[in-house]
A and B are shown apart, each in its own frame.
Chain A
Amino acid sequence: MSISARTSMPRTVAVHTALILYTLIALFPVFVILINSMKSRKAIFREPLALPGPDTFDLVGFQTVLTQGNFPLYFGNSMIVTVVSLALVLVFGAMAAFALSEYRFRGNFLMGLYLAIGIMIPIRLGTVAILKLMAAAHLTNTLTSLILVYTAQGLPLAIFILSEFMRTVSDDLKNAGRIDGLSEYWIFFTLVLPLVRPAMATVAVFTMIPIWNDLWFPLILAPSESTKTVTLGAQTFIGQYVTNWNAVLASLSLAILPVLVLYMIFSRQLIRGITSGAVK
């Protein structure tokens, strides 16, 4: 890194120290899970922080996970739930945000406020009512129930962030489209959405991670074997008396991978969006 007029050495060092420290703290638990997932049971307990060596290296956890449990199925369930909920949140969130920011109608402000309240009140408060609702609709033990709940959970924040961004899209551009005879859907999908792509990526990341990691709703709404998600599946190795730590750690390690891939996709979008705006 070159030192120029706009950066000074002590400042750069201080900033990087802070960032590196934070990175270490944030990554430490992940690191511990990863190294211990590749160690034998004894080694995990004897020296939890040691790296796997020739004596302690053991992939028994991964073997258990891949052979014993129904893990490919759990992964599939988690992926379906996350991707479908994410898609629904983005599509409906963006549409609602467009309507709130673009059209003047009675109750616009109240509607925005009502949706914003959803950010402040945790959806879990309504668990009992949601369970009753799902039971009445015969949706318990289906992935649909999870998708519906997660879509509802993700929408308020998505609408809040996206409507702020949509206000910044040039009115002239939208009006030019209207004069050229483009439908509101065309304007929304081809003119507005590409311009708010960085915001969409942010929303996607914020929406996706809580869904993937959630244990609560799968446990309550869809605990059956065929609808288990990864986080719930990992719980099968945690018993009241005996816990198969190798398997738990291995399944958690595996669970990191898909969400990491999704995150990389969105974060690249995020960066591309930011830089394309900067050089225009």
Chain B
Amino acid sequence: MGSLTLSNVTKSFGKTEVIKGVDLEVQDGEFCVFVGPSGCGKSTLLRMIAGLEDVTSGDVMIDGKRVNLLPPSKREIAMVFQSYALYPHLNVRDNMGLAMKRAGASKAEVTQAVTNSAQMLSLETLLDRRPAELSGGQRQRVAIGRAIVRRPKLFLFDEPLSNLDAALRVATRIEIARLHYELGATMVYVTHDQVEAMTLADRIVVLNAGKVAQVGRPMELYNDPANTFVAGFIGSPQMNFLKAGALGLQGETVGIRPEHLVIGDSGEIDGTISHVEHLGGETNVYVKTGPHGLLTVRLFGEHDFDIDAGVKISPDPARRFHFDAEGQRMR
């Protein structure tokens, strides 16, 4: 299988630098997710690993071998695209087998490999159809199947679930997780959806404006964010940022997750209820406060509040994160 190493990789389009020096180590068999807001460079980084974009400086190594100058087909990778990108004139069988055929495999080998991966994704009944005759979810499964057939060292996923509806997205997400377990392959997955990132990843790379903001296991990022960007990006509803000065605490900003705020008759912060969201299992309460603006409080179970009622909020002191003026965590 394959490991991936990026060392000080940069990418510029003309004078604009979009990737500003990324160092990363992905272990063999690891599921690594790049996550970040749109325009942060995560897709560009993935395309550089695939060889679809040139690397301006730095090294991309797959399995310890420098691949900067290798064309995509020689890097032993496979990629799944957001728009499926199936060949419209070929049926499912040929779509899946094309890469192996081009690589010079015998007919029997190709058939064997296609049958195997079709079984894995239960595509056997669709093999003779054309992409136009498939639904969106089926197309994405074929695209994943096409990636598996090649037995690559590295799987690359470029927002594969973004074009699917919510129910299919969850089903396909589970299928991808299952596949990673069965194949034990190294996977790099790009998404802007933090739920996908949290549920699939062994390790998450949070990217912001072409730089790595933080790398870590999902719970590390959640419980121990390195800066306000990661703290705000990971977790939904978003973390509350309070002004440290107004609370008499050190640092510039204090971050606290919505579930670590308590609403009650006594507390440090005064506010009025602005809006309540009832989700059944949980209730999100939005409270307007003077110095801190709108705060989100997440309560479990069903709760009722009157809009515009005055309340007091107290943060759980053990769950506070302190950030300095640059947004870096103070430890």
Give B80-123 as 1s and 0s: 1 = Cβ < 8 Å from A's Cβ atoms: 01111111110000000011001100000000000000000000
Interface residues of A in 159-216 (CB under 8 A from B): 170, 172-173, 175-182, 190-191, 194-195
Smallest CB gap from A175: residue in B? B52
- Find the B residue at minimum CB distance from A195: B88
List the A side residues contacting B98 at CB < 8 Å.
Answer: 180, 182
Answer whether residue A46 sits at the interface, using C-beta atoms and an 8 A cutoff.
no
**B residues within 8 A CB of A180?**
73, 98-99, 102, 146
Interface size on B, residues (CB 8 A): 27
Is A280 engaged at the interface, CB distance under 8 Å to the other chain? yes
**How far does the alpha carbon of A176 sit from the alpha carbon of B82 in the complex, in Å?**
11
Nearest-CB distance from A164 to chain B (Å)? 20
Are B50 and A179 in contact (CB-based, < 8 A)? Answer: yes
Inter-chain CA distance A177–B51, complex, in Å, is 13
Q: Which of B51, B52, B78, B158 has the most CB of A within 10 A?
A: B52
B87 touches A181 (CB 8 A): no
B221: interface (CB < 8 Å): no
Residues from 157 to 201 in B contacting A, C-beta threshold 8 Å: 158
Contact of A170 among B71, B72, B83 (CB under 8 A): B83
Residue of B nearest to A178 (CB): B72
What residues of chain B lie closer than 8 Å to A280, measured between beta carbons? 132
Chain B proximity of A53: nearest CB distance (Å): 55
Neighbouring A residues of B52 by C-beta, 8 Å: 175, 178-179
Give chain B nearest CB distance to A276 CB in angstroms: 8
Q: Are A179 and B79 in contact (CB under 8 A)?
A: yes
0/1 interface trace, chain B 24-65, chain A, CB 8 Å (1 if under): 000000000000000000000001001110000000000000
From B78, B86, B87, B88, give the contact of A179 (CB < 8 A).
B78
Residues of B contacting A195 in the complex (Cβ-Cβ under 8 angstroms): 88
Q: CB-CB < 8 A to A173: which residues of B?
A: 83, 85, 87
Residue in B78, B83, B89, B99 whose CB lies within 8 Å of A190: B89
Question: B231 on the interface (CB 8 Å rule)?
Answer: no
Q: Given A178-B72, A181-B99: A172 and B78 within 8 A (CB)?
A: no
CB-CB under 8 A from B144, the residues of chain A are: none
Chain B residues near A181 (CB, 8 Å)? 72-74, 99, 102-103
B77 at the interface (CB under 8 A from A): yes
Instruction: Pick the residue among A176, A190, A191, A194 that contacts B79 (CB under 8 A).
Output: A176
Residue of A nearest to B74 (CB): A181
Cβ-neighbour of B85 out of A170, A182, A190, A194 (below 8 A): A170
Within 240-272 of B, Cβ neighbours of A (below 8 Å) are at none
Report how far A157 CA is from B185 CA in the complex, Å. Answer: 49
B102 — nearest CB in chain A belongs to which residue?
Answer: A181
- Cα distance A195–B132 in the bound complex, in angstroms: 13
Distance of A195 Cα from B142 Cα, bound (Å): 21
Residues of B within 8 A of A179 (CB): 50, 52, 72-73, 77-79, 99
Least CB distance, A157 to chain B, in whole angstroms: 27
Chain B positions within 8 Å of A194 at CB level: 88-89
Excluding A175-B52, A194-B88, 5 further A-B contacts by CB distance (< 8 Å) are A172-B84, A172-B158, A176-B87, A179-B77, A180-B102
23 contacts across the A-B interface (CB closer than 8 A)? A172-B84, A173-B83, A173-B87, A175-B52, A175-B79, A175-B81, A176-B79, A176-B81, A176-B86, A176-B87, A178-B52, A178-B72, A178-B73, A179-B50, A179-B72, A179-B79, A180-B98, A180-B102, A181-B73, A190-B87, A191-B87, A194-B89, A280-B132
Question: B residues within 8 Å of A by Cβ?
Answer: 47, 50-52, 71-74, 77-79, 81-89, 98-99, 102-103, 132, 146, 158
